[in-house]
Amino acid sequence: EFFIDAVASYKTDFCLFPELFNAPLLAEFNHLDEARAMRSLAKYTEPLRDRFVDFAIRYNVNIITGSMPMLDGKHLKNVGFLCRRDGTWERFEKVHITPNEVQYWGMVGGDEVRVFDTDCGKVGVLICYDVEFPELPRLMALQGMQILFVPFLTDTQNGYIRVRRCAQARAIENECYVAIAGSVGNLPKVENMDIQFAQSA
């Protein structure tokens, strides 16, 4: 809530959180293997979404929640939410799942990209790896996207640079604004999540 309050004090229209921003909560499940821990973390996703909807209304800012794990039937997906300041929300899914997400967490990708209407125009959201595939934002641009948001999580400087450069390319190709936000720091007591490297732009 602190970060939302800080951003809202500048009268901004959007607040973007990183991919898997709630990863520190994985420490609660260190006694489980990585896949079961991530599935257990998914129990927080809907309550967190509801809190973000409340924050969007209270602080009068549209919030892109980054992403969180969510169980969709038996499938674990990497999803996020656009929480509008009018109290409505939309869900988006990561389409291209990384080999790491498959190997350690058993995640599966979504099958749809959408553009969302906001009080500031049409926006799209691509989670991390998805921005490296030009076809997805092109489909969004054809739907009228004006701003592309890219929440990401990378563990090395090389990974961060790859996401940033691809995001810059998508801005040029689709003549739209692009905002990126990534996690930074380390979680030494969380399996498969020990360090994150990022800069936001």
Maximum distance among all Cα pairs of the chain, rounded to whole angstroms = 47
pLDDT in tens, 83-99: 999 999 999 999 999 99
Does residue 25 form part of some domain?
A: yes
Please report, rounded to a whole number, the percentage of residues in the chain having pLDDT higher than 90: 89
Per the structure, the count of domains in the chain is: 1
**Alpha helices (runs of H) in 130-190, residue ranges in sequence order:** 135-142, 157-174
**What is the token pair recorded at 5?**
């309050």
**Active site positions, annotated:** 19, 94, 128
Does residue 45 form part of some domain?
A: yes
- Rounded Cα distance between 185 and 179, Å, is 20
CB half-sphere exposure, 2, CA atoms < 13 A: 0
Whole-model pTM: value is 0.95
Mean pLDDT of the chain: 94
Residue 174 · residue 196 · CB < 8 Å: no
- The pLDDT assigned to 161 comes to 95
Does residue 201 form part of some domain?
A: no
pLDDT in tens, 124-139: 999 999 999 999 999 9
Does residue 67 form part of some domain?
A: yes
Does residue 28 form part of some domain?
A: yes
- The pLDDT assigned to 186 comes to 80
Domain region containing 109:
2-196
Does residue 165 form part of some domain?
A: yes
Does residue 164 form part of some domain?
A: yes
